[in-house]
């Protein structure tokens, strides 16, 4: 008997500048920048801003979300 596998669905969120996203339990994050990381074999970094709190975050898929003091800090790695 053949085994059936369910296809893993991709995220329904879009990650373009200006889009609203949710990371874990942190909601209402706006993508303000995408920083390409060519050559290091890691996913691209996203700088996020939460308008409700005025906080900035740095997010790298599979590596986590980090709160930052400024947009400049969120865009650096």
pLDDT digits (tens, 9 = 90+) for 20-65: 999 999 999 999 999 988 777 778 899 999 999 999 999 998 889 9
Classify residue 8: in a domain, yes or no: no
Classify residue 10: in a domain, yes or no: no
Classify residue 36: in a domain, yes or no: no
Domain, as residue range, for 24: 15-28+47-77
Number of domains comprising the chain: 1
Classify residue 42: in a domain, yes or no: no
Reported as half-sphere exposure (CB side, CA atoms, 13 A), residue 71 has a value of 9
Classify residue 35: in a domain, yes or no: no
Q: Give the mean pLDDT of 61-76.
A: 92
Classify residue 1: in a domain, yes or no: no
Classify residue 3: in a domain, yes or no: no
Helix ranges restricted to H, the chain: 71-75
Please report the pLDDT score of residue 8 as a whole number.
40
């Amino acid at each position: 008997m053949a085994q059936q596998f369910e296809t893993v669905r991709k995220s329904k969120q879009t990650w373009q500048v200006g889009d609203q996203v949710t990371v874990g339990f942190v909601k209402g994050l706006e993508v303000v920048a995408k920083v390409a990381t060519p050559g290091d074999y890691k996913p691209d970094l996203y700088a996020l801003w939460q308008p409700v709190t005025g906080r900035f975050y740095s997010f790298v898929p599979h590596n986590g979300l980090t709160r930052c003091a400024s947009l400049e800090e969120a865009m650096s790695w």
